[in-house]
Amino acid sequence: MTTQKELIAAAQKARQASYSPYSGYQVGAALLTDSGRIYTGCNIENAAYAPTNCAERTAFFKAVSEGEKNFLAIAIVGSPAGEVTQFAWPCGVCRQVMMEFCDPDGFEVIVAKSETEYQTRKLAQLLPEGFGPSNLTE
């Protein structure tokens, strides 16, 4: 079984690929599926700014585009370039993308400074009363 530490290590590695020449803020994410696969992502910025994609959404879009639909957890490591000095909680847009594919009461968001210093929240804590696919099918 994949541990929180392993997922954090995968996010740290993914952060090394961050393409962030404009903000200098480097983020890596590692998304765990219910079959035990890990999809990683980094933030990818753009000279036109708006097309920038966050690390979390890069990981989700890689996974969903490979046919994955069931996710257990995501680890996120983000900070200005260099040593990770802060907890990088996911932005609102990324929380909404998580809401699309994850059970808000089950999906675990792990935000880490290191493999030993991290915090976890359920998606429902980060996006209370969220709007999701079930709203459209009732």
In the complex, the smallest distance separating the C-beta of residue 30 from ligand THU, rounded to whole angstroms, is: 13
Q: What's at 56, amino acid-wise?
A: E
Is residue 14 near ligand THU by the rule CB under 6 A? no
Is residue 54 near ligand THU by the rule CB under 6 A? yes
Among 2, 17, 25, 96, binds ligand THU (CB under 6 A): 25
- Indicate if 56 belongs to the active site: yes
Q: Which stretch binds ligand THU (CB under 6 A): 21-29, 66-74, 117-125, 129-137?
A: 21-29
Q: What's at 41, amino acid-wise?
A: G
What is the three-state SS of 11-67?
HHHHHCCCECCCCCEEEEEEEEECCCCEEEEECECCCCCCCCECHHHHHHHHHHHCC
Which stretches within the chain are classed as H helix? 4-15, 55-65, 92-101, 123-126, 133-137
Q: What's at 94, amino acid-wise?
A: C
Q: Which stretch binds ligand THU (CB under 6 A): 6-14, 30-38, 47-55, 102-110?
A: 47-55
Is residue 109 near ligand THU by the rule CB under 6 A? no
Residues tagged active-site: 56
Binding footprint of ligand THU on the chain (CB under 6 A): 20, 23, 25, 27, 43, 45, 52, 54-56, 90-91, 94
